[in-house]
Amino acid sequence: MNSIKTGILLAGLTALFMGAGFMLGGEAGMMIALVFAIGTNAFAYWNADKIVLKMYNAREVTAQSSPVFYGIVEQLVRRADMPMPKVYIIDTDQPNAFATGRNPENAAVAATTGLLKILDQEEIAGVMAHELAHVKNRDTLIMTITATIAGALSMLANFALFFGNNRNNPLGIVGTILVMILAPMAAMLVQMAISRTREYGADAGGAEICGNPMWLARALDKLERGAQAIDNNPAEANPATAHMFIVNPLHAHRVDNLFSTHPKTANRIKKLQELAGIVGRPWG
């Protein structure tokens, strides 16, 4: 179901791009913006993992330097039947984690020292299984495609002043202004909706990999409270990376609204409880 939702959202975003491009500049303006967006996002696709890991001063660990954490990831990888990713630790008190990399063969998973401090081994396994599910589902590829189309829409908005006299635009200059304002906003909302859909998918996939949905449910409850109480300064300085984390590292979006990159944690826990078949019963 999550894959169908993602497909529908991607189709809608593509249709939005095609319509806005034709309204603003016809085929010429649409193609210029698309080529530029593909170029910038191709660079990001091949290099984003290195950039993000460096941004957060992540340090790679091994079975020798961090035997418990590395061992948990190694065991989950065997259960998931996927290549072993590189494993990183980020020195920050905020409990959080993310995955990055363009495919399962070139992936990395990272957890913060705050997460490793407050979670038990079962909960750590639940979190890392979630991140491995992102890798296995190739969510990075999906978000890159989304970013390509959204980036092209932004470029079209910037080109509007040059291509805004398209005679096929039935609304004239009013239509051009509306596309300039509304198209990038609509693209942002679709991006966020796709990101939130993929989070639900990774929750379900992570529950399957680790074998117990409640491990992740318990972890999410602790991570949510920890992330709200403790700042993540690199994330606050680079909010565009917020969607990568398992819970929102920023303090600006605490409700489940249109402008949040993450579903409300309570909703995610409820779905995990449903997977575990214990809705309405106490846990953790």
Backbone phi, then psi, for 277, in 5-degree steps?
A: 75, 30
- The question of whether 131 is a catalytic residue gets the answer yes
Higher-pLDDT residue of 43, 118: 118
Spell out the residues 6+ positions from residue 220 whose beta carbon is closer than 8 angstroms to its own. Answer: 246, 247, 265, 268, 269, 272
Q: In whole angstroms, how far apart are CA 159 and each of 18, 33, 176?
A: 15, 8, 10
pLDDT tens-place string over residues 162-190: 655 555 555 555 556 666 666 666 666 66
Higher-pLDDT residue of 136, 237: 136
Confidence bin at 280 (pLDDT 50/70/90): very low
Q: Which residues, in sequence order, are bridge partners of residue 98?
A: 110, 245
Comparing CA positions, the residue from 258, 128, 104 lying closest to residue 202 is 128
**pLDDT at residue 140, rounded to an integer:** 75
Confidence bin at 102 (pLDDT 50/70/90): confident
Least confident of 47-51, 141-145, 156-160, 278-282: 278-282
| Cβ-contact 109, 85 below 8 angstroms | yes
pLDDT tens-place string over residues 15-48: 677 666 666 666 776 677 677 767 766 777 788 7
Give the containing element (helix H, strand E) for 64: none
Domain ranges of the chain: 2-276
Residue 130, pLDDT > 90, answer yes
Question: What's the mean pLDDT in 272-281?
Answer: 74
Confidence bin at 241 (pLDDT 50/70/90): confident
**Which residue in the list 123, 131, 199, 224 is annotated as catalytic?**
131
Least confident of 83-97, 142-156, 212-226, 237-251: 142-156
